[in-house]
Structure 1
Amino acid sequence: MRKINILIFMLIVISFTLEIANIYLSNKVTSNSIYASKIEQQIKDLDNKNQILKSDILNYTSFEMISSRAAELGFVENKEYITLSSPLDLAINR
């Protein structure tokens, strides 16, 4: 009779311990899942910002943008070209 009581007590303690471990692990998985979803949202936001920045780069490096910015800064197109009829001495000596 005493062995049966000890066995029942041990089974109750083991089941209680396993239930507490189950609750702890479930809570841990939930908190990790929330953290992972926040990181995934940050990744999506950064991807969107990268796409916007890529389009801005393409816009700012386009020929139309560069030429209009050059006109704003006072650059003008060169109408006459300078050509050298004979090579420079420095170029010949090298």
Structure 2
Amino acid sequence: MGIDPPEGWDRLAGKFEQARRQAVRVLAAHLPEVDERELVFRVRCAAGMLNWLALAPIGAELGAEPAERVERMLIPVVAGAFQGTR
């Protein structure tokens, strides 16, 4: 999920705002020590990484892998963005 609409997609701004609020609400419940601004930053980073993976040449490589293997590789990477602070 992206957290901001692409440029020129203003008609979808409300949907993106709703998705952002939902994501922050769920994450805040699990990461009470992380403020909203940082949660939004983390979601943007994770979304950007996933977008890059889908659009970059590695996306084609991942597309050739079984779903279970891709899941096993990606979940720890994305989950790392949503761990608590240290």
TM normalised by structure 2 equals 0.30
* The structure with more radius of gyration: 1
More helix by share: 1
**Higher normalized contact order (CA 8 Å, seq sep 6+, divided by chain length):** 2
TM normalised by structure 1 equals 0.27
